[in-house]
Amino acid sequence: KQEVTQIPAALSVPEGENLVLNCSFTDSAIYNLQWFRQDPGKGLTSLLLIQSSQREQTSGRLNASLDKSSGRSTLYIAASQPGDSATYLCAVSTGSYKLIFGSGTRLLVRP
């Protein structure tokens, strides 16, 4: 059974710092991996999608990598800002319209 783990559960950093969020999964047979952002009381917003054949994806200050063989993905946020404060969730797709989510990393960027 596919399981997705995100460490740390919470992270507090000063503004301007570069940071890395981690996601690990137990079964390397994935269709894709996705990173989402969730603001308090809101739904999820899609940030990055990495297909199983890809190694990384970039969008602005965000870069996500995927290493299927080790069952790991990282989300790198450059030059963090207070507006980046949110919960970040990773999810793997098994290819059958089912996303398996991690529990998320709650990020606080202090001004």
Size of the site for other proteins (CB under 8 A): 22
Q: What is the dihedral of CA 23, 10, 100, 82, to 10 degrees?
A: -90
Least separation in angstroms between residue 98's CB and other proteins is 6
Q: Mark residues 33-72: x for contact with other proteins by CB under 8 A, - for none.
A: -x------xxxxxx--x-----------------------
Structure token pair of residue 22: 């981690």
Contact by Cβ (8 Å): 107, 85: yes
Find residue 92's DSSP bridge partners: 33, 100
* Positions that interact with other proteins (CB under 8 A): 4, 31-32, 34, 41-46, 49, 89, 91, 93, 95, 97-99, 101-104
